[in-house]
Amino acid sequence: MFQVEGYEGKREDQYNLVKKQLKALIEGEPNQIANLSNASALLNQFLDRINWVGFYLLDEEQLVLGPFQGLPACVRIPLGRGVCGTSAANRETLLVADVHAFPGHIACDAASKSEIVVPLVKDGRLIGVLDIDSPELNRFDELDQKHLEEFVSILSVAI
């Protein structure tokens, strides 16, 4: 049975704990949907001041909604379009302080004001992206980026 440990102390220590919890959740589980579902639930529990966290998975030339926590979301996003599609097409993390200033932003939830999107790559092949939205401007920073990229790297082993 999974036990949620308290997230206290420095942010660096908190992120290290959540990565340790992810490893425990995915250990020995080969099912991609189960692992992505638990990963989104774990991040939803861990991160504060967010309103959506989940995955979009590559399906030919578009991203398709995968496991997530939050309000219903856009189902399909073309590669190169919006924050998620741009992150996927370029295979680079995007930190967006104000989504309304991002050219071509796709507004799935009007409450979202900032976003971080991390590509999910396995063996050099794009699998999808981790997408996290916040109702606050400038919610995410370089520390979030560093640890969420490590989180996705750990997760990529199990999908």
Judge whether 2 lies within some domain. no
In a domain, 65, yes or no: yes
In-domain check, residue 1:
no
pLDDT score recorded for residue 109: 81
CATH of the domain at 55: 3.30.450.40
pTM: 0.94
Q: Measure Cα distances from 76 to 33, 83, 100, 129, 154 in Å.
A: 17, 13, 20, 13, 26
**Structural domain includes residue 77:** yes
Range of the domain at 72: 11-157
pLDDT value of residue 57: 98
Mean pLDDT per 10-residue interval, the chain, length 159 residues: 62 95 96 97 96 97 97 96 97 97 86 96 96 98 98 95
- How many domains is the chain partitioned into structurally? 1
